[in-house]
Every structure is written in C-alpha cells, then in structure tokens.
Amino acid sequence: MTRILAVANQKGGVGKTTTVINLGASIAVHNKEVLVIDLDPQANATSGLGSEEADVYGVHSFISGEHSLEECTVKTEVEGLYLVRGARHLAGTEIELASQEHREFFLTESLSASNLSKYDYVLIDCPPSLGLLTINALVAADGVILTVQSEYYALEGLSHLVDTINRIKAHWNRALSIFGVVLTMYDKRLRLSREVEEEANEFLGDVLFKTRIPRNVRLSEAPSFGKPVILYDAFSSGARSYMSLAREVLAR
C-alpha cells in the first residue's frame, strides 16, 4: 500500500522542505521507492534534489490533468527517490484553480488517475500557507507530518494548523490523520529548545516523533549542491537524525 504524507506548516522556514528531501532520501536507502511531489511555487525541494524547475512536465501540469504522473516524474541522484518537479508558475495554477469547482480535489484526482503501486511513500512538500495548494495536499494525503521549529510561538501556530486539519477531515478527507510531528532545528543546550520539547510532549503525546532534528550546518549547505545530506555528509548529525526519523516513519 502506498502511504501519502503531506509535510505541512503554514509557518515559513520551519524545515518542511529539508524534511521532505532528507526523509525521502533516508527512506529510499532502506530499499523503498519514494516519490516527492514539490507542491510549493518556491520549488525548493526541486532545486534541493538537484533538478531544474519544470517548464512543462511538472507539478502544475500534473495537477491540472494535462500530463500523466509518468510524464512528470524524474529520477534523482538517490536510487529509489523520484520527483515531480515544482515551478514558480504553480502560483498561477493556484489562482486558476481557485475559481473552479472541486478545487480542493485536483491533486486527489490526479493521484487517483495514476498508478502509484510502485511507490511505498509519496511525500508532498507544502508551501508556507493554508491556501489551496496545501488544502489540495491535505485532501489527497492519508497522513500529515508537521515540522515544528524549536522556538517561541511554535506551538501557538500548531493549534491553528490542527484545527485546519480537523476541518479538512470533517469536510473532505475522513481518512486524514496526523502521522507525526517532528521538532526541527533543535538545540539541546538551549533552554528554549527544551521548553518547546516539554510543551510539545505534553500537547502531542505519541504523535511526537522521538527523533529530534538538530540544527546542523550540513543540512543547510547540502541543498546548494543539489543533494540530500546523506550524499553530502553521511556522518553529519543532520544525516544521522534523518536516518533515525526514517526508521521511525517506517515503523509507524
């Protein structure tokens, strides 16, 4: 069975894309087939995986039904890791979708018309908003991974996000659940990080992954080489932490 997981948080810069790239790569090295869908007009997952923005065969033409999944999928440097590329004009697609009926279901419909059986996991990188693209991802997914940066107000935004997820569940996608929450840019020497951790533990319980993603410069350098961190510095704390997160995901 293919598991479709959206990686979301309306807050910007909290490690969504870093998680999609590196969790995707770390799952793929466990002999799994993983498809990353770059649903963010910033297309950071695309460049971070060493690809160019898509002109025609990308996520915009996939969700508008112009091209098939096979036509829109490219390989990455990691064996078993595939990508549907993002593009800046996805922002235009989002505006076009807004006036259409069933606008929440474009990704769902494109995915259900596709043969996903070869993939064990589909990871969707969401933009930093709760707009139509993120809604499309949450309607198409069977689980959400929330990335939470270990900082002040991190959990305040989270309750808003959880409300949105519950609303989507009630209206459009009863199968949706919070698959897990991961604390990113964690620094155990900082009291603040530990406070966020304690609060998250209390608020989230078991959905909080045990793995913490530390602040690690290798994680921020790797995308400029178009590589997941395991291909850039496999022994870095960032690479090890995403491998550990992948094991947790595989066990869930």
Ligand X SMILES: Nc1ncnc2c1ncn2[C@@H]1O[C@H](COP(=O)(O)OP(=O)(O)OP(=O)(O)O)[C@@H](O)[C@H]1O
* Number of residues near ligand X (by CB under 6 A): 20
Question: Binding partner of residue 220 among ligand X, Mg ion, none, CB under 5 to 8 Å per kind?
Answer: ligand X
Q: Cα(150)–Cα(133) distance, rounded to whole angstroms?
A: 25
**Given the rule CB under 5 A, which of 8-16, 88-96, 154-162, 176-184 is the region that contacts Mg ion?**
8-16
Q: Do 94 and 47 contact (CB within 8 A), yes or no?
A: no
101-129 core/surface letters (b: 16 or more CB in 10 A; e: else): eeebbbbbebbeebebeebbbbbbbbbbb
In order of 34, 71, 81, 171, the CA distances from 11 in angstroms are: 25, 32, 26, 23
Give the residue with the Cβ less far from ligand X, 69 or 132. Answer: 132
- Taking the complex as a whole, the smallest distance from the CB of residue 91 to ligand X amounts, in Å, to 13
DSSP H or E stretch at residue 7? strand 3-8
Indicate which single residue of 6, 15, 80, 93 sits in contact with ligand X (rule: CB under 6 A).
15
Is the CB of 40 or the CB of 120 nearer to ligand X? Answer: 40
Is the dihedral angle over the CA atoms 87, 5, 233, 197 positive or is it negative?
Answer: positive
Question: Mask of contacts with Mg ion, 15-44, x by CB under 5 A?
Answer: -xx--------------------------x
- Kindly list the residues in this chain that would bind ligand X in the complex (CB under 6 A): 12-18, 40, 42, 44, 128, 184-185, 213, 215-216, 219-220, 223, 238
